[in-house]
Amino acid sequence: MKITSKINTKDINLIKQDMIKCLVETADAVRSDLVKSQTMPFDEGNLQNKSTFVDDSKKSIGKVSIVSDTPYARRLYFHPEYNFQKGKNKNAGGEWFDPYINGNKKNLPKEIFERLAKGRYK
């Protein structure tokens, strides 16, 4: 008995494209959650609103990043001991990504991605 199989590369490529969209949407959702959590330092909104964005230039290889491209972002991030203004963001401080890396929100990106992916294939 001879068994043959044929791989449907067209459908596989469509699924890959859907997953890339889910990846970008996940990064956007995490960025939105970060803003909503009011943990980034906020004076005029440049760091949080204008200079923090999703870089999806490497999405085709499964990599997206949330980038803050101001010259002072690194200094503020790695110095949680600074006396941050709390008038506009009540939880402002350094290390604002730590909850997503090691803390109570570390599973959030995975959960968002799973929800988005499942939603595309109900």
Q: For every one of its 122 residues, what pLDDT tens digit does the chain have, with 9 covering 90 and above?
A: 899 988 888 999 999 999 999 999 999 999 999 999 999 999 887 999 999 999 999 999 999 999 999 989 999 999 999 999 999 999 999 999 999 999 999 999 999 999 999 998 87
How many degrees, rounded to 5, is the angle at CA 75 between CA 40 and CA 35?
10
Separation CA 38–CA 25 (nearest Å): 20
Contact present, 120 and 19 (Cβ < 8 Å) = no
DSSP, collapsed to helix, strand or coil, labels residue 102 as: coil
